[in-house]
Structure 1
Amino acid sequence: MGVPTAALCLAWALALACARPLTHSKPEAAGGGHPHGAEPPSNDTDLAQLCADEGGFDAATLSENGTMLFFRGGEVWESSPEGTRPHARALAASWPELGGPVDAALRLHRQQHPQEHQSLYLFQGEQVWAYAGGQLRPGFPRRVGDEFPGVPGGVDAAVECHPEDCGGETILFFKGDMAYSFNLALRVTKSHTWGTLQGLGPCSAALRWLERYYCLQGTRFQRFNPLTGKVFPGYPRDLRDYFIPCPGRGEWHGNASWGEAGDRCSKMPFQALLSDDIGRIYAFRGGLYFRLDSHRDGYHAWPLGQMWPGLEGEVDAAFAWHGRTYLIQGSQVSIFLSEQGHRRVQGYPRALQEELGVPSADAAFTCPGSAHLYLITGDRMRLVDLMQTPRHVGEPVLLPHDHVDGAMCTGDGVFLFRGPSYHRYPSVAELLGAQQPTPPQSIAAHLFHCPQ
Structure 2
Amino acid sequence: MKFFTRTLLLCLALGLAYADPVPQHDTAADDGALPDRCKGIEFDAITPDEKGNTFFFKDGHLWKGFHGPAQLSNESFKELDDLHHIGHVDAAFRMHDEENKDDHDHIYFFLDDKVFSYYNHSLEEGYPKDIAEDFPGVPTHLDAAVECPKGECMANSVLFFKGDDVHIYDIATKTVKTKMWPLPTCTAAFRWLEHYYCFHGHNFTRFHPVTGEVTAGYPKDARNYFMKCSDFGHGGDGKIPKCSEVKLDAITTDDSGKTYFFSGTMYMRLDTHRDGLHGFPITRAWQEVTNGVNAVFSYADKIYLIKDDQVYIYKSGAHYTLIAGYPKSLMEELGVEGHVDAAFVCPNEHTVHVIQGNRMRTVDLTATPRVVGTDVPLPLSDIDASLCGDDGVKVFKGSQYFRYDSPMILAMGRIAVEPQPITSAMMGCQD
Shift of 1:101: 2.8
1:52/1:69 CA distance change after superposition, 3 Å: same
Alignment map for 1:386-397 (pairs within 5 Å): 386-388=365-367, 391-394=370-373, 396-397=375-376
Q: Distance in 2 between matches of 1:122 and 1:451?
A: 42
Indicate which of 340, 364, 368 corresponds to 1:361. 340
Shift of 1:274: 1.7
Q: SS of 1:237's equivalent?
A: coil
| 8 Å Cα contact 1:159/1:206 also seen in 2 | yes
Normalization by structure 1: what TM-score? 0.72
| Match in the other structure for 1:281 | 259
1:360/1:388 CA distance change after superposition, 3 Å: same
Shift of 1:291: 0.5
Q: Do structure 1's residue 204 and structure 2's residue 187 form an aligned pair?
A: yes
| Match in the other structure for 2:270 | 292
The residue identity in structure 2 corresponding to 1:118 is D
1:444/1:162 CA distance change after superposition, 3 Å: farther
Q: Distance in 2 between matches of 1:170 and 1:401?
A: 47
Q: Distance in 2 between matches of 1:113 and 1:336?
A: 29
Q: Distance in 2 between matches of 1:451 and 1:150?
A: 54
Shift of 1:43: 1.4
Indicate which of 359, 374, 385 corresponds to 1:380. 359
| Match in the other structure for 1:177 | 164
Write the deviation string for residues 240-298 of structure 1: whole angstroms up to 9, x where unpaired: 48954779x99x84x7286558x9x9961222112234332210113211102334442
| 8 Å Cα contact 2:25/2:67 also seen in 1 | no
Write the deviation string for residues 42-86 of structure 1: whole angstroms up to 9, x where unpaired: 01898xx96784x6432122222224433334443454xxxxx64
Shift of 1:128: 3.0
1:75/1:267 CA distance change after superposition, 3 Å: farther
| 8 Å Cα contact 1:10/1:293 also seen in 2 | no
Q: Do structure 1's residue 62 and structure 2's residue 45 form an aligned pair?
A: no
| Match in the other structure for 2:84 | none
| 8 Å Cα contact 1:18/1:78 also seen in 2 | no
Q: Distance in 2 between matches of 1:94 and 1:286?
A: 45
Q: Distance in 1 between matches of 2:367 and 2:177?
A: 49
Q: Distance in 1 between matches of 2:141 and 2:94?
A: 18
Alignment map for 1:8-407 (pairs within 5 Å): 17=21, 42-43=26-27, 53=40, 56-79=42-65, 86-92=67-73, 95=76, 97=78, 98-99=80-81, 100-164=87-151, 168-185=155-172, 188-190=174-176, 192=178, 194-195=179-180, 198-199=181-182, 202-209=185-192, 213-218=196-201, 219-226=203-210, 230-232=211-213, 234=215, 237-240=218-221, 243-244=225-226, 253=234, 256=236, 259=239, 268-339=246-317, 341-344=319-322, 352=330, 355-356=333-334, 357-388=336-367, 391-394=370-373, 396-407=375-386
Q: Distance in 2 between matches of 1:400 and 1:125?
A: 66
| Match in the other structure for 1:29 | none
Q: Distance in 1 between matches of 2:63 and 2:295?
A: 38
Q: Distance in 2 between matches of 1:378 and 1:445?
A: 31
| 8 Å Cα contact 1:220/1:237 also seen in 2 | yes
| 8 Å Cα contact 2:240/2:430 also seen in 1 | no
1:354/1:114 CA distance change after superposition, 3 Å: closer
| 8 Å Cα contact 2:189/2:196 also seen in 1 | yes
| Match in the other structure for 1:31 | none
Q: Bigger CA drift: 363-372 or 206-215?
A: 206-215
| 8 Å Cα contact 2:352/2:363 also seen in 1 | yes
Shift of 1:105: 1.2
Shift of 1:382: 1.6
Q: Number of paired residues?
A: 409
| Match in the other structure for 2:33 | none
| 8 Å Cα contact 2:154/2:318 also seen in 1 | no
| 8 Å Cα contact 2:152/2:319 also seen in 1 | no
1:385/1:178 CA distance change after superposition, 3 Å: same
Q: Distance in 2 between matches of 1:59 and 1:127?
A: 15
The residue identity in structure 2 corresponding to 1:440 is Q
Shift of 1:359: 1.3
In structure 1, the gaps of 5 or more residues are 20-39, 80-84
| 8 Å Cα contact 1:75/1:88 also seen in 2 | no
The residue identity in structure 1 corresponding to 2:207 is R
| 8 Å Cα contact 1:240/1:246 also seen in 2 | no
| 8 Å Cα contact 1:180/1:189 also seen in 2 | no
| 8 Å Cα contact 1:51/1:244 also seen in 2 | no
Write the deviation string for residues 195-225 of structure 1: whole angstroms up to 9, x where unpaired: 3xx4456432223345555444442425244
Normalization by structure 2: what TM-score? 0.75
Q: Bigger CA drift: 297-306 or 424-433?
A: 424-433
Write the deviation string for residues 158-205 of structure 1: whole angstroms up to 9, x where unpaired: 22233455565443322223444445455x45352x23xx44564322
Q: Distance in 2 between matches of 1:114 and 1:385?
A: 38
Q: Bigger CA drift: 267-276 or 86-95?
A: 86-95
1:400/1:285 CA distance change after superposition, 3 Å: same
| 8 Å Cα contact 1:182/1:189 also seen in 2 | yes
| 8 Å Cα contact 1:18/1:68 also seen in 2 | no
1:57/1:184 CA distance change after superposition, 3 Å: same
